[in-house]
Amino acid sequence: MRLPTIALTLLLFAHAPAHAGKTLDQVRQKAQLACGVSTGVIGFSAADSQGRWNGMDVDICRAIAAAVLNDPGKVKYVPLNAQQRFTALQSGEIDLLSRNTTWTLTRDASLGLHFTAVTYYDGQGFLVPKKLKITGAKQLKNAEICVQSGTTTEKNLGDWFKAQGIKVKPVVFEKFEASIKAFFSGRCQAYTTDASALAFIRSKEAPNPDDYVVLPELISKEPLGPVVRRGDDEWFAIVKWVIFALIEAEEYGITQANLEQMKSSPDPAIQRLLGGAEDSGKLLGLERDWAARAVKAVGNYGEIFQRNVGKDSPLKLPRGANALWNKGGLLYAPPVR
């Protein structure tokens, strides 16, 4: 039977390899991924004493380098403060921003950027000295609160207390390190940022962690995830699907350790993900084993979480909202098919 012209065209496009895209071409020409990270947030992106970068955001960079360049080590890490991060991406200084950055409408719609996927569901909280005997954020009336400028944290602080009819005095710092130092020197009665960062600050930066407490309530939603420039749909697709593949790998029980064994699984979904039954890579402008490369480099999402911020890390944060959708969390990836 002869197919109508429109149907035939759609069928041809459905199986056509994707054009590589400008950013992917540049990354391959450089043989390096320029990845914007923080200036040092343990668990997300921080350099150790030997200059090696570690953290959840760093592992996303490594996974994408593995999928694209077949080498997770081919990443140039560019430390950026809150004010620098978006300009660096807009200007082309970096190919990807993976820097504990909150997805908001303003950022997504007005900066010429695209958020790709949520890699960590967070929320803003408060760290206070125990000696103040504060048990809730509403008790911070007239308090001086240390906060970093150029962040959603700064705006959330003003919005939440205004909504409560409570006056506070923000003490704003440009650099993360300066804000922490000021808080522990007694400049402020409270420190505010994402709850994940508060856990790190209390355990690693406090003179005596037992002298401080993270208040129980959260005052905001902070979905964190990598960001790319607009105008390159191919690169946008690559970044988000690598992240989705890491989440799917956890759901299917694929780990760094059993990856090779799982390649022979009879499960069609696992075969598709690892490039056995179908070549999904050609639709992204990548090789057939793009997802397998990513998992081999950093493990599945659960492994990334536990190693950097979970039970195997100094932070020991619970999975909570960052558990898979079928285990009570919010992580839900579109299927690789």
Are residue 160 and residue 109 in the same domain, yes or no? no
Place of tokens 């914007």: 36
Q: Pick from 197, 220, 243: which residue ends a domain?
A: 220
Please give the structure tokens belonging to residue 192. Answer: 């505010």
Residue 335 domain flag: no
Kindly report the CA angle at 309 between 307 and 310, in degrees rounded to 5?
70
> How high is the pLDDT of residue 322?
97
CB 96 within 8 A of CB 216: no
- CATH number, domain containing residue 171: 3.40.190.10
Does residue 238 share a domain with residue 164? no
Going residue by residue through the chain (337 aa), what tens digit of pLDDT does each one get?
A: 444 444 444 444 444 455 568 999 999 999 999 999 999 888 999 999 999 999 999 999 999 999 999 999 999 999 999 899 999 999 999 999 999 999 999 999 999 999 999 999 999 999 999 999 999 999 999 999 999 998 899 999 999 999 999 999 999 998 888 999 999 999 999 999 999 999 889 988 999 999 999 998 999 999 999 999 999 999 999 999 999 999 999 999 999 999 999 999 999 999 999 999 889 999 999 999 999 999 999 999 999 999 999 999 988 899 999 999 999 999 999 999 9
Range of the domain at 323: 5-121+224-327
Domain assignment present for residue 289? The answer is yes
- Say if residue 111 is in the same domain as residue 130: no
Q: Is residue 67 part of a domain?
A: yes
Check whether residue 196 and residue 243 sit in a common domain: no
Residue 328, token pair as written in the block: 């009570």
12 and 108, same domain (yes or no): yes
Specify the number of domains making up the chain. 2
- The helix, strand and coil proportions of the chain, stated in percent and rounded to the nearest 5, come to 45, 15, 40
The predicted pLDDT at position 92 comes to 97
Residue 18: predicted pLDDT: 54
Distance of CA 72 to CAs 92, 118, 128, 304, Å?
21, 21, 39, 14
- Are 135 and 193 in a shared domain? yes
116 and 11 both lie in a single domain: yes
Are residues 30 and 60 located together in one domain of the fold?
Answer: yes
Asked if 116 and 239 touch (Cβ cutoff 8 Å), the reply is yes
- Asked whether residue 277 is domain-assigned, the answer is yes
233-252 vs 290-298: helix crossing angle, rounded to 10: 60
Q: Is residue 210 part of a domain?
A: yes
| Domain match, 202 and 241 both | no
Neighbours of 278 (CB within 10 A): 15
Q: What is the pLDDT of residue 144?
A: 98
